[in-house]
Amino acid sequence: MATINYLVRLSAPLILALGLAWLVPVQAATSEAPSGLGNATCLSCHDGKKGKIEVPGGDDTRALYTVGHDKYGKSVHGRMQCVDCHREITDAKASHKKAAGVAGPNCVACHQGLWEALQQEGKTQGKERMGLVVKNVEAYKKSFHARPDKDDPSRPKAVCDQCHNTHEFAVPPRGSVERTEWHATVPQVCGETCHEDALDEYSGSAHGKALQEKQDKKVAVCIDCHTAHNIVNTSGEPFKAAVTKNCGGCHEEKFASYKDTYHGQVNTLGYGYTAKCYNCHGSHEILKADDPGSKVHPDNLLRTCKQCHNGKKDLPEATAGFASFGAHATTHDFKHYPQLWIASKFMVALLIGVFAFFWLHSGLWYYREAKDRKAGKAAPHIRTEGLALDEKKHFRRFHWGWRLGHLSFALVTMTLVLTGTAALYAESSWAPVVAGMFGSPHAMGLTHRVAAALFVGIFLIHFVYVMQKLLRDKTFRWFGPDSLIPRWKDLSDCVGMFKWFVGKGPRPQFDRWAYFEKFDYWAVFWGVNIIGWSGLMMAFPHVTASYLPGWVFNVIMLVHGEEAFLAAVFLFTVHFFNNHFRPDKLPPPDVVMFTGTQSLEEFRRDHPAQYQRLVESGELEKHLVDAPSLVMTLGSKILGLTLITIGLGLLVLVAIGFMGH
């Protein structure tokens, strides 16, 4: 309570200046001063022309402020009478007699009272700055400065008039020369009053030299990093999460490149445990990168990295390659980052090529099937005369191992997309929510790596299983109709499909694996290697940096993110369309990958060449099984719809992140 009372008596600073001069007439300036206590009388003693006025203060005496006529008249309080604030003063004699029970200057109560009166009278329009004053007062009360001082707990650490001279201060308009001049005085005010050591460091820094030697009055000063009123403890998470954004207010391009790094992604998500600007560049003592004393000078950079990457906790010690990592590398600067520039152009071409081809493919396919359905055209007829087939039977297309592998892949992939894109698009509105669901970006990253390990593990099990089975099968033909290896027929089928799309030819007769199914299959091999190896290199940076230069991290992080984006968008658009949203598959879902079977009608339509081949060889009946039970079918549909819904939801999140990136 003592702290608040002291604050109430002394807080008149910048926050009071924001608009008080023209609001005071509401209650104060219109009042007349008691007889003999006008401003002229008060200032005749307090203008300093008769010498300093000292009063008892603590164990000694303290000098009162000198109030000049001109400066006070131009200040934000210049239209007020002295006794509007000093209401306890009752006479004009030295050691003024004070009225009993009357409080001294109470700037906070005055401003809050003015704003409340304006609100009650409905006169706040056009006077919003007065509301800002009240907000600043509340922010100060919660700030680090408002805490009790260690040496004198009855006083706060800092009060308003330590930063602003209550009797002389006036807020210069934003953008004015006067505002710039005032801005340049802030380091001296903060440093000379309390923070002498910080001022010494700042004076020797790049910022301080620019201010003092080059007279660059727009350079960063204390309040640009620490703010003016809601100053918080610099060791707390709120400050750590906000300070880098404050730096980015000036260094916009550097800030943008920083946010593309893992350090920046975590910081953007609202957590302060990764490296921020001041961890690498210093805080008050920031020097240019080419200065031998700079923390980011090439000779000092590895030592700077080792401040965090010191071998303790879960951060292995930084190795040689860390020093050449481009913390602010960009994809548009070939001169300084040629490797990243080349990698970005390759990935952009890959994304455009894949999406242009397959989105066109899907669009034309939808158009053709919808047009044929509207015209009443049926799918090509397969002759079944003379065959003793039970049409209620189903064709077994996938064994349980394939189905289990597909489901596992689906769940793991969706987990990877969620946790990976939450970091990739950390600036999006949904990413911090996802990080919070996991507890922190660290826990989210751990989940991502576990899911990645499961993905690779499932892939290897599948690969070993398939290879050992095929190698033992003496009749299997590697380029035969049952093989997933691409062959010339796939190319001709693809060309034939485009001809069919535009009405220039019949629909191709697909065998066991259509060309787009083979693409889906082999894309996993590509993705596991590109995404997997790049992810592994980032998961163990100290090992990678022991053998490779630091720019490799810039490249693999780009490739990892872009390839993951490609995989996610392809899966949830093209793959979903091919298997669930084609007109002849509607309504979704297609449950063949969950039940493992297809009706004969669907099998004949999707894979007519395989069907005909099995009929001619007499092997069709070996693949026929009973239709799945109603429970199995219903469960598969529920599972399929659930996965489709999750996938489309993830697609929306990725789209939001991509558009806002």
pLDDT along the chain (661 residues), means of 10: 41 40 42 69 82 74 79 82 84 82 78 84 82 85 86 82 78 79 85 86 89 85 86 80 85 93 92 90 91 94 93 88 94 94 97 97 94 74 56 90 94 97 96 95 96 95 90 88 93 96 93 95 92 95 95 96 96 96 91 94 92 90 93 96 97 95 79
Q: Which among 133, 147, 169, 166 is positioned nearest to 231, based on CA atoms?
A: 147
Q: Which two tokens stand for residue 291?
A: 């200065």
Residue at token pair 């380029």: 479
Q: Are 217 and 180 spatial neighbours (Cβ–Cβ below 8 Å)?
A: yes
pLDDT of residue 379: 58
Euclidean distance between CA atoms 160 and 163, whole angstroms: 6
Predicted pLDDT of residue 357: 97
CA 233 vs. chain centroid, Å, equals 23
Q: Which residues pair with 60 in a beta bridge?
A: 57
Q: How far apart are CA 7 and CA 584, in angstroms?
A: 75
Q: What angle do CA 455, 458, 459 make, to 5 degrees?
A: 85
pLDDT of residue 117: 86
Report d(CA 226, CA 246) in Å as an integer.
8
Please tell us whether the domain made up of 338-660 is placed in CATH 3.40.50.150: no
> Which amino acid appears at position 548 of this protein?
L
Q: Is the four-CA dihedral 431, 436, 442, 447 of positive or negative sign?
A: negative
The residues spanned by each domain of the chain are 2-170, 189-309, 338-660
- CA dist 495 and 497 (Å) reads 5
Q: Which of 445, 459, 399, 431 is nearest to 657 (CA)?
A: 431
Res 3: pLDDT: 43
* Contact by Cβ (8 Å): 599, 390: no
Q: 234 φ, ψ to 5°?
A: -70, -15
Q: Residue 38: is it exposed, middle or buried by C-beta count within 10 angstroms (0-12/13-18/19+)? A: middle
Q: Is the pTM of this model over 0.75?
A: yes
SS3 396: strand
pLDDT at 111: 79
CA distance 545 to 539: 11
pLDDT at 21: 40
Does a cis peptide bond (omega within 30 degrees of 0) precede residue 587? yes
Number of other CB atoms surrounding residue 65 within 10 Å: 13
The count of other CB atoms within 10 Å of the CB of residue 454 is 16
Q: What is the pLDDT of residue 59?
A: 65
In angstroms, the Cα distances linking 633 to 396, 411, 585, 628 are 14, 20, 16, 6
DSSP letter for 575, please.
I
β strands within 124-190, DSSP E: none
